[in-house]
Amino acid sequence: MKKTDKQKTDMQKSDMQQPDMQKVDALVGRLVGDLGASVSGVLVVLGDHLGLFRAMMDGRPRSSMELAETTGLTERNVREWLAAMAAADYITYHEASNKFAMTPEQALVFANEDSPAFFGGAFEIVQSMWMDEPKVEDAFRTGRGLGWHEHSTCLFRGTERFFRPGYNSHLVTEWIPALKGVKEKLERGAEVADVGCGHGASTILMAQAFPKSHFHGFDYHGPSIERAKRAAKEAGVDDRVSFSKASAKEFPAGNYDLVAMFDCLHDMGDPVGAGRHIRETMAKDGTWMIVEPFAHDGLKDNLNPVGRVYYGASAMICTPASMAQEVGLGLGAQAGEMKLRKVALDAGYHHFRRASETPFNMIFEVRN
Ligand SMILES: C[S@@+](CC[C@H](N)C(=O)[O-])C[C@H]1O[C@@H](n2cnc3c(N)ncnc32)[C@H](O)[C@@H]1O
């Protein structure tokens, strides 16, 4: 017997799983928090750029009028920003005096650029994701990718400011000593290449720690190289640090004792080609240090708060960046050790070892 349209629709409806309204409530509840976090991120960037956090760094309670006067801003706008930040618990409200203050912990996270917990730069990266979202849409449609250089400037600045605290905390004291014989070479005087150096935060930090060594930063992004040159001058290390615009497959040979790559191998279209070029440019007993975002090998194991941030950045920035270059491997920011080991072995190396790690980074030692 032929079924009527109504019977068919009723059958389809009964096949569909009915939503559990308690689970819907729980998901919506979680999303209110997530939505608040997205909105707060914009206000963090605003407060960072306008110097509002820095003006409150000393922890002294202030009225909106006092803060507006200190920063030269409009009181009504400042008052609303303070209320929003107090609602986020990023700034503390003292009801009795109707004043606002930052606790020492809040100051470390939002105001003190030198602190290991500084988060200002992180939200500038997110700012670039929002600004560049239409370009990423296009990349998804065409498959052509979106080059690092095609993003908004806040990405480059945010990356430098977000990554630097981690390098300050771990690079010289933990990561380099974890590589066999490298610290000793750098102390004696070595040649070092920092490939994909961006604004050169890692290059300059290493130069400050090892005054007998020479450092050469390379990046294919010209404006980043210009910024790195200025930073080296400001830090007073430009006599031992050079920065040049060059891709990872073409930077000049230098018999390097150490070639470092900080959070950029997965952004490259041809990481294997880059690895081969490094083999040709480095000393026979040289070391290739690869610093990559922390990740497990299996997707399921990366479904956690850190993986959430990294997969998001990877979908919006890293994977399209790699796809925009030749080969377009698209490793992704959560590649994991197994895939990274394969890149190194395919490039002709025989030694690959995880030398160190933090909750955010994995550090690999690669040698011939
Ligand atoms: C996430 S950023 C990391 C920058 C820097 N290493 C840091 O830790 O602050 C990735 C960098 O890789 C650079 N990059 C991407 N592909 C490259 C390539 N094929 N050759 C050289 N640099 C490249 C980008 O220009 C960008 O500066």
Q: Mean pLDDT of all residues in the chain?
A: 96
- Over residues 131-151, the pLDDT tens digits come to 999 999 999 999 999 999 999
Going from the Cα of 264 to the center of ligand 1, the distance in angstroms, rounded, reads 5
Would the CB of 270 count as within 6 Å of ligand 1? no
Q: Which domains does the chain have, with CATH numbers?
A: 38-111 (1.10.10.10), 121-367 (3.40.50.150)
- Over residues 258-315, the pLDDT tens digits come to 999 999 999 999 999 999 999 999 999 999 999 999 999 999 999 999 999 999 999 9
Work out whether strand 256-262 and strand 191-195 pair parallel, antiparallel, or are unpaired. Answer: parallel
Going from the Cα of 244 to the center of ligand 1, the distance in angstroms, rounded, reads 13
- Over residues 3-26, the pLDDT tens digits come to 677 766 666 666 678 999 999 999
User: Across the strands, what pairs with 363?
Assistant: 291, 356
Three-state SS string over the chain comes to CCCCHHHHHHHHHHHCCCCCHHHHHHHHHHHHHHHHHHHHHHHHHHHHHCCHHHHCCCCCCECHHHHHHHHCCCHHHHHHHHHHHHHCCCCEEECCCCEEECCHHHHHHHCCCCCCCCCHHHHHHHHHHHHHHHHHHHHHHHCCCCCHHHCCHHHHHHHHHHHHHHHHHHHHHHHCCCCCCHHHHHHHCCEEEEECCCCCHHHHHHHHHCCCCEEEEEECCHHHHHHHHHHHHHHCCCCCEEEEECCCCCCCCCCEEEEEEECCHHHCCCHHHHHHHHHHHEEEEEEEEEEEECCCCCHHHHCCHHHHHHHHHHHHHHHHHHHCCCCCCCCCCCCCHHHHHHHHHHCCCCEEEEEEECCCEEEEEEEC
Q: What is the pLDDT of residue 13?
A: 62
The reported pTM is 0.94
Q: Which atom of ligand 1 is nearest to the CA of 201?
A: 9
Q: Which atom of ligand 1 is nearest to the CA of 167?
A: 8
- Beta-carbon contacts of 21 under 8 Å, excluding residues fewer than 6 positions away, are none
Going from the Cα of 166 to the center of ligand 1, the distance in angstroms, rounded, reads 17
Going from the Cα of 247 to the center of ligand 1, the distance in angstroms, rounded, reads 9
Q: What is the pLDDT of residue 12?
A: 66
Q: What is the pLDDT of residue 16?
A: 77
Q: Which atom of ligand 1 is nearest to the CA of 164?
A: 9
User: Across the strands, what pairs with 290?
Assistant: 261, 364
Residue nearest to atom 26 of ligand 1 (CA): 198
